[in-house]
Homo-oligomer: A and B are copies of this chain.
Amino acid sequence: MSDAPHPMIQSEFDLIQTYFAALGPHREDVDLGVGDDCALLRPPPNRLLAQTQDTLAEGVHFAVGADPEALGHKALAVNLSDLAAMGAEPAWFSLGLTLPQADTAWVAAFAHGMAVLARAHGVRLVGGDTTRGPRSISIHAQGFVAAGRELRRSRARPGDLVYVSGTLGDAALGLMQQQGEWDGGAQHAALAERLHRPEPRVLLGRRLGGVAHAAIDLSDGLAADLGHICTASGVGARFELGRLPLSAAGRAYLAVTGDWMPFIAGGDDYELCFTLDPALEREAAAICRAAGCVCRHVGEVVAGDGVHCIAPDGAELSLARGGYEHFSG
């Protein structure tokens, strides 16, 4: 137009320009980032391009009024966790952001939470769009992995050991605490942190490439996610309750309630579950130490199918609920 632009008309583009035009570190492989019809990127030769897309919707994955800074972190973290589970090195991401209104303070805090995590992992925002509608965040993230070093779900073999990183169930307890169903007491802040600010196991995943047989990130709970490995690999697996790694908060909850469900079926932990040839156990231990996390042997891959949960007394438990499932409610 020959007139000065209408201030309202510029608002969406202002938002994008101001907060998202240069989010994350500069990367030489980004030929053209935010601001054209497409981004133009230069994937490295002789590497597989690994990519994932995860959506977080208000009222489903996060509560109305959730802290935008934590949400910016988590929306990117859950996607980096998928790259970690594939053994990939994160590179770029794209953001589809749907908001009920153009709330500058909200966007600034959201972008800040996202930018801090993006810089920590060297990933650059290269595109996406901003839309008016019920609040939701759909991120597409990409990374690279050398062929042969990718961690597929489908390569678990009978005899493999089943490992998990970190501790289980803390995000589920954090959610119960938020909903007033549990009081974390002295561990209140720690549980909230695990729920709202998961740390994707990127370094661990990359170093396990070519060592572990199969891997998945724990978004739906150990039973369900280990079940995905079993289905993809055509095997079964067993894990022992007594071996599950629990935080201080988890041990306190278990002591009071006797309830194992948060540790077996609680989602949102974003730890890695991987399977390993027993001959490589020492090598894996060194990798976990180098990646700065504790990994625990919790079970074994077996011939057959299904995931079998073994109680401390050796009995096999039957579980009616396998984990969080979007359309089961």
Contacts and interface: CB of A to CB of B under 8 A. Distances in A.
Oligomer: number of copies: 2
A308 B9 CA distance: 17
A310 to B, nearest CB: 10
A130 B326 contact: yes
Contacts of A154: 36
A102 interface: yes
| Interface range on chain A (Cβ under 8 Å from partner) | 35 or more
18 contacts: A1-B307, A6-B320, A9-B224, A31-B147, A36-B86, A36-B232, A37-B216, A40-B150, A41-B49, A43-B43, A53-B94, A54-B129, A55-B138, A57-B98, A57-B133, A101-B327, A102-B327, A133-B134
B35 A52 contact: no
Interface string A173-211: 000000000000000000000000000000000000000
Given A6-B322, A37-B216, 16 more contacts: A2-B307, A8-B327, A12-B328, A37-B82, A38-B85, A40-B50, A41-B48, A51-B126, A55-B129, A56-B131, A57-B132, A57-B134, A131-B136, A131-B326, A132-B326, A134-B134
Contact of A82 (B1, B38, B43, B86): B38
A1 to B, nearest CB: 5
